[in-house]
Structure 1
């Protein structure tokens, strides 16, 4: 089998995922095919951002295979719980959305078992799952053109910064008189 994910062979991509994610999670492996399909359906040379509709696994595939990361602000993660991603032009906000399509999983039952949680992780046949992901590649994905609503296009600028009068740390002035942590959003006791 000669499945390619961007410039990587399937086996090379598994090792890349292992080194970044900790283990070759099925969601990151499938995500590789999703990113590859999206990139191939964007105009050549377009500067793009990414939107990921789940916080689990898929953001790692985007960060591994594109310049879009959470750290540089080019990747937005919306916790919608859908296994989908969009790559879109930074300026026009037009792009493509790719999602894992359950209706196309017919021949790949172990992928369906994993995706629909029909088997526990312990009950899954991991080798069969990896083999089916490779066999299916992009055949279990769907793609459509999209244009993002303005409210979902992430603002890239922090704006003015000040020192919080309560804790003394820097924060975006647009957050209010004190930082969000001092407003009650601090996760620490």
Structure 2
């Protein structure tokens, strides 16, 4: 059961900053980049900020996300790490967790949204564990709870990322596929991966 006092009446306790952004700035950027201010991006912003605060100032870091849902966008809003530049890697384990680590030494921190810490935050628990259909959830109250709970709903773990994972990921030798005629990494086989499997689209004549 959540505290009886309304979250909206205790604005002084709401999360005020996400990295270098004010709460309002982060929300504006989330709406622009993600398409909406989703609960997942809000939680993700808190998680990323928590990890960044623990890294020594000036650390050059990379990021691992353990889900494709929402969390990677929080990373790309708050850090220079993106999927495109390769500093953000997604390992889709289906876990709501993010790790920031020194790209040279491998030491860093993993933050995850902890189900064991949600008992006092009923709307967050309902959303995260999908106990109600989306249209039955109270989205306003959910966001208020997230901003009030802040880091309280997260668990932080020190980690070390193995050197083999941190090495430069070059494409290596490039071949031209004998079937489609397009370039691809030779390490993928005799033909490109696209021609090795059924694609979800077809080329129209």
* TM-score relative to the length of structure 1: 0.92
Partner of 1:109: 122
Aligned partners of 2:91 and 2:175: how far apart in 1?
28
Aligned partners of 1:154 and 1:169: how far apart in 2?
27
Partner of 1:92: 105
The structure-2 alpha-carbon separation of the partners of 1:52 and 1:154, relative to structure 1 and needing over 3 Å to count, comes to farther
Partner of 1:167: 180
Q: 1:152: how far off?
A: 4.3
Q: Is this contact kept in 1: 2:27–2:37, CA < 8 A?
A: yes
Gaps of 5+ in 1: none
Aligned partners of 1:188 and 1:167: how far apart in 2?
14
Structure 1 outlier segments of 4+, above 6 Å: none
Q: 1:107: how far off?
A: 2.7
Partner of 2:34: 21
| Superposition pairs of residues 144-155 of structure 1, within 5 angstroms | 144-150=157-163, 152-153=165-166, 155=168
* TM-score relative to the length of structure 2: 0.85
Partner of 2:135: 122
Q: Which structure has the larger Rg?
A: 2
1:39 aligns with 2:52: yes
1:6 aligns with 2:25: no
Q: Is this contact kept in 2: 1:10–1:134, CA < 8 A?
A: no
Q: 1:172: how far off?
A: 1.1
1:64 aligns with 2:64: no
Higher relative contact order, structure no. (Cα contacts within 8 Å, ≥ 6 residues apart): 2
